[in-house]
Amino acid sequence: MRRPVNLRISALIGALVSVGIALLFAYFAYLLLGRSGTLGFGSFNAAGVLEGLVFILVFMTSLRAVRSAVRLPSPTLLSFGLVAPPTAARVAQDVPQVDASRGIDTLTQNRIVIVTSQGVPVGAAGVRRERITSWEDLVKVDGQVAVTDLRRVLAHEPLVIVTDGSTVLGVVTQEMYLAGLWGQVR
């Protein structure tokens, strides 16, 4: 999984390549039209407008191809990498950690709880109904991963545990992910 810095660099390179390809095609249109248009600058003419349309169509097509090939979020690509998604650690919801031998009241007060045994995580309650999901069965990601890269994992799993080494930073649920993209879930 990628970090926001990797997404920024990929977006910058992809957007610059798209601009270069679009300029090249616009130049070919300029040559094919007998060097009569200047993208509408200087004097307004049909050849210049046609060159501009060629630039826009090729630029949009190239951006779509880059976005699909590199799996970049549209805002990151369109901003040439200036806007990047946050890290998973930044958006992770803090969840309580309770010892397996006690903490029944914490289970009833919180939707999701990390269950530990002598300080070591052994599972999570609230992931699946009426049972504790084993720690090995849970998907865990590093906190520095871009939150947009969790999309494929969250399509199949109800939540992702965000860690920093062996420390649990929190969880990102399907609801939280969608709320971050489409509004608030209450």
Pair 130, 94 in one domain? yes
Pair 118, 169 in one domain? yes
- Flag whether 83 is in a domain: no
Residue 97: the pLDDT is: 78
Q: Work out how many domains the chain is built from and give that number.
A: 2
Pair 104, 171 in one domain? yes
Which CATH number do you get for residue 172?
Answer: 3.10.580.10
Residues linked to residue 168 through DSSP beta bridges, in sequence order: 163
Q: 59, 78, 97: which is the final residue of a domain?
A: 78
186 residues of the chain, pLDDT tens digit each: 888 899 999 999 999 999 999 999 999 988 898 877 766 566 777 888 888 899 999 999 999 999 999 888 888 899 998 988 888 888 888 888 777 666 556 655 667 878 788 778 888 877 776 677 888 888 899 999 988 888 888 888 888 999 888 888 988 888 888 877 544 443
Residue 150: the pLDDT is: 87
DSSP string computed for 123-180:
EEESSSTTSEEEGGGS-EEETTSBGGGGHHHHTT-SEEEEEETTEEEEEEEHHHHHHH
Residue 130: the pLDDT is: 66
Residue 184: the pLDDT is: 44
Residue 183: the pLDDT is: 46
Pair 109, 45 in one domain? no
- Flag whether 171 is in a domain: yes
- Flag whether 138 is in a domain: yes
Instruction: Return the exposure string of 46-74: e unless at least 16 CB atoms fall within 10 Å of the residue's CB, then b.
Output: ebbebbbebbeebbeebbeebbeebebbe
Q: What is the pTM of this model?
A: 0.72
Q: Is the CA virtual torsion 64, 70, 76, 77 positive or negative?
A: negative
Pair 65, 116 in one domain? no
Pair 49, 13 in one domain? yes
Pair 103, 74 in one domain? no
CA 53 from chain centre, in angstroms, equals 31
Assigned token pair, 11: 């977006």
Residue 92: the pLDDT is: 85
Pair 74, 12 in one domain? yes
Q: 46, 78, 110: which is the final residue of a domain?
A: 78
- Flag whether 33 is in a domain: yes
Pair 137, 73 in one domain? no
Residue 168 domain boundaries: 88-182
Pair 74, 110 in one domain? no
Residue with tokens 């871009």: 146
Segment 95-143, tens digit of pLDDT: 887 776 665 566 556 678 787 887 788 888 777 766 778 888 888 999 9
Residue 42: the pLDDT is: 65
Pair 103, 22 in one domain? no
Pair 28, 66 in one domain? yes
- What Cα–Cα distance (Å) separates residue 147 from each residue in 44, 110, 177, 178? 46, 23, 8, 11
- Flag whether 152 is in a domain: yes
Residue 109: the pLDDT is: 64
Q: Do residues 59 and 16 lie in contact, with contact meaning Cβ atoms separated by under 8 Å?
A: no
